């Protein structure tokens, strides 16, 4: 897939457990953040977003936490399923363009 060869941080979790993926962002002026999921052979897919005036936002089985003090973003996936296997990217909106993190590869153990 497209992520083959990427030396990414890897997170391995048991099926059914919760996953927490972390991201540090660089621009303290960024006011909007997004998490993407990229499966092998596909383009990134929007998961959830959060604005800088919020600390937490929940979606279906996913929660994003934002800590502006330390410029840290996390994505929590509840009850991880095999279909969650992918590379996850955070992105920040800086100067009207997206700046992406390097990504984390999530693998699910049966």
Partner 1 sequence: KAGVTQTPRYLIKTRGQQVTLSCSPISGHRSVSWYQQTPGQGLQFLFEYFSETQRNKGNFPGRFSGRQFSNSRSEMNVSTLELGDSALYLCASSFASGSYNEQFFGPGTRLTVL
Binding interface with partner 1 (CB under 8 A): 2, 5-7, 32, 34, 41-46, 49, 89, 91, 93, 96-103
CB of 44 to partner 1, least distance (A): 5
CB of 106 to partner 1, least distance (A): 16
Cβ(58)–Cβ(49) below 8 Å:
no
CB of 101 to partner 1, least distance (A): 7
Q: Measured from the CB atom, is 7 or 110 closer to partner 1?
A: 7
Q: Measured from the CB atom, is 11 or 98 closer to partner 1?
A: 98
Q: SS3 of 95, please?
A: coil
Strand partners, 72: 24, 67
Using alpha carbons only, what angle is made at residue 55 by residues 108 and 51, rounded to the nearest 5 degrees?
95
Q: Measured from the CB atom, is 57 or 72 closer to partner 1?
A: 57
CB of 36 to partner 1, least distance (A): 8
Cβ(46)–Cβ(98) below 8 Å:
no
Q: SS3 of 94, please?
A: strand
């Amino acid at each position: 897939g497209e992520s083959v060869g990427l030396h990414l941080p890897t997170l391995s979790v048991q099926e059914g457990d919760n996953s927490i993926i972390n991201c540090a962002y660089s621009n303290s002026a960024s006011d909007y953040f997004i998490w993407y999921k990229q499966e092998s052979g596909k383009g990134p897919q929007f998961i959830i977003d959060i604005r800088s005036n919020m600390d937490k936002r929940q979606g279906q089985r996913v929660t994003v936490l934002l800590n502006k003090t330390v410029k840290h973003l996390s994505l929590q996936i509840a009850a991880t399923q095999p279909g969650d296997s992918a590379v996850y990217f955070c992105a920040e909106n800086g100067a009207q363009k997206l700046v992406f993190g390097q990504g984390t590869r999530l693998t699910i153990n049966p």
